């Protein structure tokens, strides 16, 4: 009996690739067939042919299972191939970048500056890597992760600009860029929320206005563009605008509710009967 089952399974499994997983599956099925045949014998069945047929019948639509099995393997293969292409592309880009960096360094002999090519190039790869999953995240409405990615992208851009300004120019107080960083992050998050239709946009817009007014004031005052006083009114103005936004949002919300109520009242009028 065991050989008949083995022959049957060998024949059936020829339609799929002989992977370790497939052979494990085949062995598992053989075990089940043997257990089932044993059970029939214990119940008193003696006709081997009948036992064999009943056992094979118990497998059901076995061919469909094998096809599914093969399809899953094909998908894994495709994913692996895709991952391989991505890995090769990244490796190729890094090699090209390094060649460009070395060439620029040898030609100009400005080794103290050309390393920026390598660093900014790596930043660019990281940004591309973070942008790629964004459409999927937008579809899945994973706003928390999207905001994290956007914050990461803005931070990398600011760091790259800071390094370029620091190394390539004589501009002083370039570190002030990092004070402006929260403004840019919050601004990007507000734009993202407007794009995705997130309900958190009002809170984020208020945070953006408040932070911008305070930090722009600090940056301008530190650069001696404006005096500290009376320009402290800037953050106060920011707070005032924030309050106005909250009041307007509440007023709009109440107006919408009133309109909805009116529609309902009219609907009641059309659908109510005296008898």
Partner 1 sequence: MTGDILRGHTETVILRILTERDSYGYEISKAINDAGDDMLDIKDATIYTAFRRMEEDALIRAYWGEGGLGGRRRYYAITDAGKKVYEEKKAEWQKINKILNNLILGGQND
Please give the residue ranges that form the binding site for partner 1 (CB under 8 A). 2, 24-25, 27-32, 34-36, 38-39, 58-62, 64-65, 68-69, 72
CB of 2 to partner 1, least distance (A): 8
What is the Cα–Cα distance from 83 to 86, expressed in whole angstroms?
A: 5
Give Cα separations from 188 to 2, 15, 105, 138 (angstroms).
67, 53, 35, 15
The dihedral through the CA atoms of 177, 179, 181, 187 has a sign that is negative
Question: Which one, 39 or 267, has the nearer CB to partner 1?
Answer: 39
CB of 20 to partner 1, least distance (A): 12
Question: Which one, 71 or 248, has the nearer CB to partner 1?
Answer: 71
Q: Would you tell me how many other CB atoms lie within 10 Å of the CB of residue 190?
A: 21
Question: Which one, 10 or 267, has the nearer CB to partner 1?
Answer: 10
CB of 181 to partner 1, least distance (A): 38
CB of 137 to partner 1, least distance (A): 21
Question: Which one, 69 or 123, has the nearer CB to partner 1?
Answer: 69
Question: Which one, 63 or 257, has the nearer CB to partner 1?
Answer: 63
CB of 61 to partner 1, least distance (A): 5
């Amino acid at each position: 009996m065991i050989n008949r089952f083995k022959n049957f399974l060998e024949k059936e499994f020829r339609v799929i690739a002989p992977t370790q997983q497939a052979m494990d599956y085949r062995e598992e099925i053989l075990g089940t067939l043997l257990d089932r045949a044993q059970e029939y014998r214990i119940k008193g069945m003696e006709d081997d042919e009948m036992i064999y047929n009943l056992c094979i019948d118990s497998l059901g639509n076995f061919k469909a299972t094998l096809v599914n099995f093969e399809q899953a393997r094909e998908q894994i293969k495709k994913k692996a191939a895709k991952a391989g292409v991505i890995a090769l592309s990244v490796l190729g880009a890094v090699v090209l970048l390094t060649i460009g960096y070395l060439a620029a360094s040898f030609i100009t002999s400005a080794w103290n500056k050309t390393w920026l090519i390598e660093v900014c190039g790596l930043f660019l790869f990281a940004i591309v890597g973070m942008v790629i999953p964004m459409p999927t995240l937008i579809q899945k409405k994973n706003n928390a992760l999207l905001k994290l990615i956007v914050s990461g992208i803005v931070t990398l851009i600011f760091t790259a600009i800071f390094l370029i300004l620091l190394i390539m120019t004589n501009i002083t107080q370039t570190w002030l860029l990092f004070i402006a960083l929260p403004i840019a992050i919050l601004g990007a998050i507000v734009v993202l929320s407007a794009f995705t239709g997130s309900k958190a946009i009002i809170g984020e817009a208020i945070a953006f206005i408040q932070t911008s007014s305070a930090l722009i004031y600090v940056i301008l005052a530190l650069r001696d563009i404006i005096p500290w006083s009376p320009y402290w009114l800037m953050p106060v103005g920011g707070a005032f605008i924030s309050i106005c936004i909250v009041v307007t949002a509440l007023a709009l919300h109440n107006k919408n509710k009133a309109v909805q109520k009116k529609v309902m009242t009219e609907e009641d009028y059309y659908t109510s009967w005296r008898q």
